[in-house]
Chains A and B, each alone.
Chain A
Amino acid sequence: MEAVMLVEQLEPHGRLVLRQRFESAGTACRIGRELGCDMVLSDEHAAPQHALLTLLEDGRVSVRDLGTKNGTRVDGKRIPAGVEAIVEQGELIVGRTRLRVRTRYTPVVPERIFRRDFVRRHRTPLAAAGVSACIAYGAFQQWLSAPTSIFRSVTAGLLVALGAIALWVGLWALISKLNHGMWEGRVHAAIVSIGAALCAWGLWLAGVVAFATQWSVLVQIGLFLAGAVALLALYLHLREATYYDRRISLALAVTLTLVIGAVAWIIAIRGDDGDVNRVKLGPDVRLGADRVVPNRDVADYLAEVDELKRDAGRERQKSLLDSPLAEAED
């Protein structure tokens, strides 16, 4: 393979501005503000003739600074005046402009599989599956609690689930439409319905497992995972259906998730502390279900109850700190 060099000019965030290709050994590329240069920069921090790149016989590149005040940096290191730096590839900073030099030594990464399209390609079946799972959950809950007027309650659950999904999809579709001119309704519907169904069914399952293992932490872990699913769904809304940049999508999704989580947490904490009559009974009981952990005996349990004296005392201290008695203690 003969000597070849690719010089790319990048904008500060790393996006490509222009690219020039030089072939055959001995070819030079002069970089500077002068119109006579091979690569002309409009950067006031660059000299009229700033740097010289020469393609060598062996395919590498020699970089030389042409005696400038600001100097030239190769991969962050400034080249001393009059010294030639030999590189196989690298990033140059000339003035404030970023340049990338590639030669035949630069490894070429293999083709990456184009996964991004998965949601878009299968949007119809995905949306249908997600919406059905949501509706099934709503209907299941209705059936569990009010099985007498089954038709009416299931219809109500169905309408509520559909309405909530429609509202959310509509909002995102509008954002997509404004952002790049397409509604992307089915993509949004697929994302939100699958996310919601995962959360709802997952939490239900977490409750079942939490009782079987007598491990209430599982419910909290379930809530945490639900948060993660929400984060992923938001990211996909932004990235896949609205075509925001990856980093912007991630930042927005994380921020939104944190804000929503914080609001939910504050509401939960408030509701918890505001009600002195609230009792925590543990995970809902499952009648006749298999349990993984062995039962306690009464004496064991009563020994554990003794610890409640200390816990209750702590709650009292906390409550007295939060709102002191009308008359301060002596």
Chain B
Amino acid sequence: MRFCWDLVTIARLIAAIWLLASVSGAVAQEERPAAPPEAPAAASAEAEATGEEPDEEGLDAAAVEAEISAQVISGEAKVRLDAARESVVQIRGFFAGSESSAFHGSGFAVDDGRRIVTNYHVVAPAVLYPRQYRIEFLASDGSTGPLRVLAFDVRNDLAVVAGDDLDLPRLRLRTEIPAQGERAWSIGFPLNLGLTITEGVANGLVENSFEQSIHYTGAINGGMSGGPALDRRGRVYGVNVSVVTGRQLVGFVVPAKHIPPLLARAGTPLEQSLSAQQLRQRVAAQVLSYEAEVLEARPDPAVTQTVRGYVLPTQISRHLECNTVDERSPHPRMRVEAVGCRIPPRILVQLGQNVAGLIVQHRILQSQGLHPLQFERQVNRLAKGPRRSGTPEHVAPFACRDAVVSLDGFDARISTCVRQYRLFDGLYDFDVTVVSIDDAEQALVSRLALQGIAFESGRRIMERYLGGLQWKP
């Protein structure tokens, strides 16, 4: 199949790569330039929207072909863009009295034309540090003005902001999920490059997920966050989210059905009625209610996996996804079998800080002719392995307790470490390490890591996890 590409396809591919590379070369934050052969259309459309033109060298037959096909598609994109242009604003955040923006995203007018919908993470600094950051809009006609946060939904990454005397043409919402394969467009200000439209395909709700998010195959770059995702009739079916990095043309869109309830809550600016601390508490409360639903959801029935006599609780939460990891052993005379399960921390409370994650990692180590002392050293080393990174500005240091505990069928040294978030005093990280100590030839090193969770629910999950560990030869 790979060898059957005709010349034109290869040339198209080269042209698409070249175009994308020239776009990403123009900005500091680099996206992977290689585009799969299915997507030259989107790439060309994006290139056109940002005003890139191929020069003499690129004007061979293939580029001409690519340009022609781009023109055919961009006709439709242009209609969408023109229709929405005046409704979309760039949202810019400023640090204190600074004149140059510290962060930016996109937003669009709905409802009465005064209120603007965007992502929570775009305006998070203004929510968490209201006295340090201010946000402003920049409309298509060049007008600017201050914005204030009216409501936010951390779980779905949505926020409603409003300008004082803003009156933009509004976009219509479409609350049902687009069918898989429906053509769709995303609008926003990627990487501060100016208003841009990208074309792609809506792929329905993300499968096997507790999370309500639509998979969009098309480019959503940083800065397009909060911009509208449009369907064929120009209605907003969702809001762009661009926080997933390192993936090509896999975007996520928050379904529009979450917008009306949020609009219903959005009344007066939050900072008028709430202190900075109360705002943070509200953020934490939303995270915790999400967790109660997702992390603590009991599986039915409890799923376990047995590896070399150890019964491992692989699904202590219903939404945990597990896979057997082919892990390289740190020692040639030791075998490692690993089962890793996780719920990725999908809630972004502020840039660089995701919470509400759960990781379970079981490792069964088997000595293959190692001296017991040598094996012991390897076990200790693996137990001490590096922890996920928290930064000193976001989290406080761990407090730990360890003990040798009799579990079901085996003895283990359990070490539990807990730390708090500096900004949110209701959120905790848990790090539990279990090392079996009975056998000098074989050992279980298991870890449970919880990220941004209430202490009590963390403890409940921990109890469930410890209760599930078993040795049944």
- Please list the residues of chain A having a beta carbon within 8 angstroms of any beta carbon in chain B: 143-145, 147-148, 214, 216, 272-282, 284-289, 291, 293, 295-298, 300-302, 304-309, 311-316, 318-320, 323, 325-327, 329-330
Contacts and interface: CB of A to CB of B under 8 A. Distances in A.
Interface stretch (B32-40, B149-157, B190-198, B458-466): B458-466
A288 B440 contact: yes
Contacts of A311: 399, 418
Interface residues of B, number: 72
Interface of B: 129-132, 275-277, 331-333, 370-377, 379-381, 383-384, 386-393, 395-407, 411, 413-423, 425, 428, 431, 433, 435, 437-440, 443, 455, 459, 462-463, 466-467
Contacts of A279: 387, 398, 400, 415, 417, 431, 433
Given A288-B438, A315-B420, A326 B400 contact: no
A285 B379 contact: yes
A307 B401 contact: yes
Contact of A276 (B371, B397, B418): B397
B189 to A, nearest CB: 26
Contacts, number: 181
- Among A275, A279, A289, chain B packs the most CB atoms within 10 A around the CB of A279
A295 B405 contact: yes
A302 B459 contact: yes
A308 B428 CA distance: 11
A285 B413 contact: yes
Given A276-B390, A320-B422, A297 B377 contact: no
9 contacts: A279-B431, A280-B398, A281-B383, A287-B443, A291-B404, A295-B411, A296-B403, A296-B405, A296-B406
Contact of B420 (A285, A291, A302, A313): A313
A147 B377 CA distance: 11
6 closest A-B pairs (Cβ-Cβ)? A282-B402, A311-B399, A319-B396, A316-B420, A316-B396, A330-B275
Q: Is the interface of B mostly helix, strand, loop or mixed?
A: mixed
A305 B448 CA distance: 14
A280 B417 contact: yes
B389 A214 contact: no
A276 B373 contact: no
Contact of A286 (B437, B463, B466): B437
Contacts of B425: 313, 316
A144 B380 CA distance: 12
Nearest to B401: A304
A238 B270 CA distance: 71
A216 B400 CA distance: 12
Contacts of B420: 312-313, 315-316
Contacts of A309: 418, 428, 455
